[in-house]
Amino acid sequence: MSGDPKLERIAKGNALALCATGTWTASFAPVLERMVADAEKLAGGPQSIFIDVSEVAKLDTFGAWLIERLRRSLTQGAVEAQIAGLSANYSSLVDEVRRVRATPVTDSSTITITGMLEQIGRAVAGVGGTVAGLIDMLGAVLAAGARTLIHPRSFRMTSTVHHLEQVCWRAVPIVVLITFLIGCIIAQQGIFHFRRFGADIFVVDMLGVLVLREIGVLLVAIMVAGRSGSAYTAELGSMKMREEIDALRTMGFDPIEVLVLPRMLALVLALPILAFLGAMAALYGGGLVAWLYGGVDPEAFLLRLRDAISIDHFIVGIVKAPVMAAVIGIVACVEGLAVQGSAESLGQHTTASVVKGIFFVIVMDGVFAIFFASIGM
């Protein structure tokens, strides 16, 4: 029953018959399209044309549409092309296709220089929107926090503890491991280069100051942004996609109070703890390398450390942690709530959450550095 489709031209008096034969289905679509395009050139001729489909073995939407397309392009002015020999089986399909009105497809994906400039402009203008969004969220979180202080019973303890477990307790192994390794590397590099001046012991000063003031908290904040910031965005984003956040709102709950506040609080509590653990792990790692590789025994290391650092260094480091946590949390929640309906949008916002989170953490670190330098800490 199947066979390659053909479209034969048979002259019948002053009329022209186009006899379609074979299988007119999707699998033969390229051949069919070429044949139909050839036959379309007959349009405008003097003779009347009819399309004979009585010999078509099999027809589907693709075939039916191509026959309909042929009929439409052969119909010009007074000359109307007819379809003849339609079997009962296929007549409803052809009727169905006849109802289709062909609308020219607008291709909007052309790339122009003005379009690119427009995109750059929009992106730059979007930066202001981003900052405004962050401030907006900060305000909303503070307001929700104040409401919770006035009505302590509305505070979501279970949720906060759950998130604390997720972002703090479960993050401890990886944070400790990575900061430990970074401590080892700093100490090793320090000893390797300081040894040339016979200044091995100063590696302890470098390690102490660097780890307590900068590396400890910065490294941990970046890890938390990647680990928990992305999780927050994905959680809130998928809830937004499935209208769960709208559901909360209609039940009279404030999503900021129910979803954002516990997450923010957990993060603000978690980051100082993680930063402290990270700093200790880095010092331990550095001390270990100083002992095994640099020959600085633990007692000498500790003595030197006590001279080199003061409580100020520790405070400078740890004070930054909750602020960075707040920045990460706000960025993550803003991005999460900005997710639109598609999976792609979820991916984009999760990426944006991590990138912006890390960026703002580093900016904050710079601001703090200037501040502490000017107050002499």
Partner 1 sequence: MAQGTQNGIQNPIIRVRDITVQFGATRVLDGLDLDVQRGEILGFVGPSGAGKSVLTRTIIGLVPKVAGSIEVFGVDLDASSTSQRRNVERRWGVLFQQGALFSSLTVRQNIQFPMREYLRVSQRLMDEITIAKLTMVGLKPEVADRFPSELSGGMIKRVALARALSLDPDLVFLDEPTSGLDPIGAGDFDELVRTLQRTLGLTVFMVTHDLDSLYTACDRIAVLGNGKIIAAGSIADMQASQHPWLRQYFHGKRARAVMG
Among 4, 46, 77, 102, binds partner 1 (CB under 8 A): 102
Sign of CA dihedral 293, 299, 305, 308: negative
Report in angstroms how near the CB of residue 95 gets to partner 1 at its nearest. 8
State yes or no: residue 70 binds partner 1 (CB under 8 A).
no
Report in angstroms how near the CB of residue 21 gets to partner 1 at its nearest. 16
State yes or no: residue 136 binds partner 1 (CB under 8 A).
no
Stretch that binds partner 1, among 94-102, 130-138, 181-189, 302-310 (CB under 8 A): 94-102
- Considering only residues 217 through 246, tell me which ones interact with partner 1, judged by CB under 8 A: 241
- Between CA 319 and CA 268 the distance in angstroms is 11
Are 301 and 291 a contacting pair, CB within 8 Å? yes
State the amino acid at position 65 in one-letter form: W
Among 6, 58, 162, 227, binds partner 1 (CB under 8 A): 58
Are 245 and 239 a contacting pair, CB within 8 Å? yes
Pairing of the two strands 48-59 and 15-24: parallel
Long-range residue pairs from 247-256, CB within 8 A, at least 24 positions apart, any chain:
254/144, 255/337, 256/140, 256/141, 256/143, 256/144
State yes or no: residue 47 binds partner 1 (CB under 8 A).
no
Among 89, 109, 110, 114, binds partner 1 (CB under 8 A): 89
Are 266 and 160 a contacting pair, CB within 8 Å? yes
State the amino acid at position 177 in one-letter form: L
Strand partners, 17: 10, 50
Cα three-residue angle 372-369-267, rounded to 5 degrees: 100
Are 79 and 49 a contacting pair, CB within 8 Å? yes
Angle between helices 311-337 and 113-150 (to 10 degrees): 110
For partner 1, the closer CB: 107 or 299: 107
Among 21, 42, 69, 244, binds partner 1 (CB under 8 A): 69
State yes or no: residue 3 binds partner 1 (CB under 8 A).
no
For 75, list phi and psi in degrees, rounded to 5. Answer: -80, 110
For partner 1, the closer CB: 241 or 369: 241
* DSSP symbol at 7: E
State the amino acid at position 269 in one-letter form: L
- Considering only residues 305 through 344, tell me which ones interact with partner 1, judged by CB under 8 A: 340-344
Stretch that binds partner 1, among 74-82, 98-106, 176-184, 291-299 (CB under 8 A): 98-106
- Between CA 78 and CA 49 the distance in angstroms is 12
Report in angstroms how near the CB of residue 129 gets to partner 1 at its nearest. 21
For partner 1, the closer CB: 102 or 251: 102
For partner 1, the closer CB: 76 or 340: 340
State yes or no: residue 156 binds partner 1 (CB under 8 A).
no
State yes or no: residue 60 binds partner 1 (CB under 8 A).
yes
- Between CA 328 and CA 321 the distance in angstroms is 11
Among 96, 136, 246, 312, binds partner 1 (CB under 8 A): 96
For partner 1, the closer CB: 63 or 216: 63
C-alpha distances out from residue 302 to 177, 204, 208, 277, 317, Å: 22, 9, 10, 18, 20
Among 4, 11, 101, 173, binds partner 1 (CB under 8 A): 101
State yes or no: residue 119 binds partner 1 (CB under 8 A).
no
Size of interface with partner 1, in residues (CB under 8 A)? 34
- Considering only residues 167 through 206, tell me which ones interact with partner 1, judged by CB under 8 A: none
* DSSP symbol at 259: I
Among 76, 92, 119, 189, binds partner 1 (CB under 8 A): 92
Report in angstroms how near the CB of residue 248 gets to partner 1 at its nearest. 19
Binding site for partner 1 (CB under 8 A): 25-27, 29-30, 33, 58-62, 65-66, 69, 89-90, 92-93, 95-97, 99-103, 105, 241, 340-345
